[in-house]
């Protein structure tokens, strides 16, 4: 056995695990050990067989311990940022193997402790001391039979998050289910250590009590990621929230405390490596819309892009009560002013984003810009033949050449030159 372990002395692959059990009756318990492995940076395979050691309340091994379990195969967990607008970088792979066995454990004063120990953790872990010489102990406790007979442990409902995006708030349901209906309380806690250089895979595993991993300053069990707000878990609901501000790999412990009729029964602990990465935004929302004139349609053009799926819907608010669901709508304004235009787009992946632009609308007179070969030679006269000194504004988007604001109502003449002719256009403006 020692020779078998020597070749994995410097191997690293463990990124988390947990152990739970179900009482089947007649003193039989089905034990499930979940082990999470880094399938991208990890070097060592799963142990085959994997041994679970069981101690009674006096720290004596029970008959048949340690119990071997053959490798059942593994599943690769889905990488999910829990945010449809964020795309994670490549190079993150987490797999899970569930080792299951059934043992007979008669009712006993002091209960039982079940443990699997393995060294070493990923050397790229950021928040604990000497991760490549720090292992893990995954423990489950059957309480004293005087407290609970044929007790089943709680188990977490969801896979742990494989990736968290830096500087992005996240929320994860880390709640557990208790088959017996016992009360559960959640807390961030310190993971156990177990195994080390020279004895990376203790068989049998050590008896309790177990030592804990050591955190690098300024990290701790209650603040394992840093950031603001820091990682925290609701003690009643198990909802895990936080906004990490540093990329890296971080060990986190989640404890679920089991109570029956106000009496503490046991602790269920999950120990997991959180990968905090720089994610890219899958949706960029942008549109163009020029300033315009009263009662003249303004063309709005969507320029949004997405790297995940496709844009499936558009929702425009033109700031005057008008709306549209077209991709590239036009909209006329009935009065002058500054109008805040909002575009909300939704992608097929469920990402929602918005962009806001202010457009200015004024009174003015105008002619189609395509009629003018040379914008600089336009002259404006009022009905008395007096030349007007209004500065000209050209908009290629809505096809108008207009004057500044403040033009009084009246009749105006635009004089400009086309090839071979001088053109005069009469325009009537009424506010």
pLDDT in tens, 330-384: 999 999 899 999 999 999 988 889 999 999 988 765 555 555 555 446 777 777 7
Residue 6 binned pLDDT confidence (cut-offs 50, 70, 90): very low
Task: Give the DSSP H/E element, type plus range, for residue 5.
Answer: helix 2-6
Domain boundaries, the chain: 2-280, 282-362, 366-429
pLDDT digits (tens, 9 = 90+) for 80-130: 767 777 777 777 889 999 999 999 999 999 999 999 999 988 888 999 999
Q: What's the mean pLDDT in 298-320?
A: 94
CA-nearest of 246, 278, 274 to 89 is 278
pLDDT of residue 397: 41
**How far apart are the C-alpha atoms of 51 and 115, rounded to whole Å?**
9
Position 58 confidence tier, pLDDT thresholds 50, 70, 90: very high
CA dist 360 and 289 (Å) reads: 10
The answer to whether 112 and 82 have CB atoms below 8 angstroms apart is no
Residue 143 has pLDDT above 70, yes or no: yes
H/E run at residue 15: strand 14-25
Residue 145 has pLDDT above 90, yes or no: yes
What pLDDT band is residue 7 in, cutting at 50, 70 and 90?
very low
389: Cβ–Cβ under 8 A, 6 or more apart, which residues? none
Task: Tell me the per-residue pLDDT of 191-226, one tens digit each, with 9 for 90 and over.
Answer: 999 988 889 999 999 999 999 999 999 999 999 999
Q: Please enumerate in sequence order all residues whose Cβ is within 8 A of that of 239, keeping only pairs 6 or more positions apart, or say none.
A: 171, 172, 173, 174, 175, 233
21 closest CA partner among 137, 180, 239: 180
Is 66 a residue whose pLDDT tops 60?
yes
Tokens of 40: 């991208």
Give the confidence band of 395 by pLDDT, cuts at 50, 70, 90. Answer: very low
CATH number for the domain whose boundaries are 282-362:
2.60.40.10
Could you tell me which residue, 364 or 131, shows the higher pLDDT? 131
End-to-end CA, the chain: 95
Instruction: Answer whether 0.75 is exceeded by the pTM.
Output: no
Task: Determine which of 175-179, 342-346, 359-363, 413-417 has the lowest per-residue pLDDT on average.
Answer: 413-417
**Closest to 96 measured CA to CA, from 159, 138, 53:** 159
Question: Could you say which DSSP state residue 4 is in?
Answer: H
Contact 201, 119 (CB under 8 A): yes
pLDDT at residue 157 is higher than 70: yes
Residues 6+ apart with CB under 8 A from 293: 361, 362, 363, 364, 366, 400, 402
Write down the pLDDT at residue 4. 34
- Nearest-angstrom CA–CA distance, 218 and 192: 19
- Identify which has the larger pLDDT, 86 or 63: 63
């Amino acid at each position: 056995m020692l020779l078998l372990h020597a070749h994995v002395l410097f191997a690293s692959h463990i990124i988390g695990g947990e152990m739970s059990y179900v009482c089947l009756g007649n003193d039989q318990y089905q034990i499930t050990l979940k082990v999470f492995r880094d399938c991208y940076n990890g070097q060592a395979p799963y142990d085959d067989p994997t041994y679970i050691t069981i101690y009674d309340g006096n720290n004596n091994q029970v008959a048949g311990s340690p119990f071997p379990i053959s490798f059942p195969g593994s599943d690769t967990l889905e990488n999910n940022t829990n945010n449809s607008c964020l795309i994670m970088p490549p190079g993150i792979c987490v797999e899970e193997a569930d080792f299951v066995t059934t043992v007979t454990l008669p009712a006993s004063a002091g209960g039982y402790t079940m443990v699997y120990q393995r060294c070493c953790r990923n050397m790229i872990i950021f928040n604990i001391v000497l991760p490549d010489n720090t292992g893990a102990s995954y423990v489950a406790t059957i309480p004293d039979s005087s407290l609970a007979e044929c007790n089943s442990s709680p188990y977490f409902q969801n896979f742990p998050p494989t990736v968290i995006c830096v500087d992005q708030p996240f929320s994860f349901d880390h709640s557990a289910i208790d088959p017996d209906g016992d009360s559960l309380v959640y807390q961030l806690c310190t993971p156990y250590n177990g195994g080390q250089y020279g004895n990376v895979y203790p068989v049998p595993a050590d008896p309790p009590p177990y030592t804990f991993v050591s955190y690098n300053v300024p990290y701790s069990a209650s603040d394992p990621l840093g950031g603001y707000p820091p990682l925290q878990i609701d003690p009643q609901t198990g909802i895990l929230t936080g906004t990490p501000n540093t990329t890296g790999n971080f060990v986190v412990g989640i404890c679920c405390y089991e109570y029956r009729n106000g009496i503490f029964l046991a602790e269920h602990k999950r120990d997991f490596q959180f990968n905090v990465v720089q994610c890219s935004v899958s949706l960029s929302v942008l549109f163009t819309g020029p300033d315009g004139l009263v009662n003249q349609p303004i063309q709005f053009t969507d320029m949004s892009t997405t790297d995940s799926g496709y844009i499936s819907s558009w929702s425009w608010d033109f700031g005057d009560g008008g709306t549209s669901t077209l991709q590239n709508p036009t909209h006329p304004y009935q009065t002058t002013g500054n109008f805040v235009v909002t575009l909300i787009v939704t992608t097929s992946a469920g990402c929602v984003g918005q962009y806001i632009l202010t457009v200015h609308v004024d009174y003015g007179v105008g002619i189609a810009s395509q009629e003018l070969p040379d914008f600089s030679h336009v002259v404006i006269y009022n009905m008395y033949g007096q030349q007007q000194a209004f500065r000209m504004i050209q908009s290629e988007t809505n096809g108008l050449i207009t004057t500044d604001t403040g033009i009084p109502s009246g009749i105006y003449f635009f004089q400009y030159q086309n090839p071979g002719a001088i053109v005069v256009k009469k325009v009537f403006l009424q506010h």
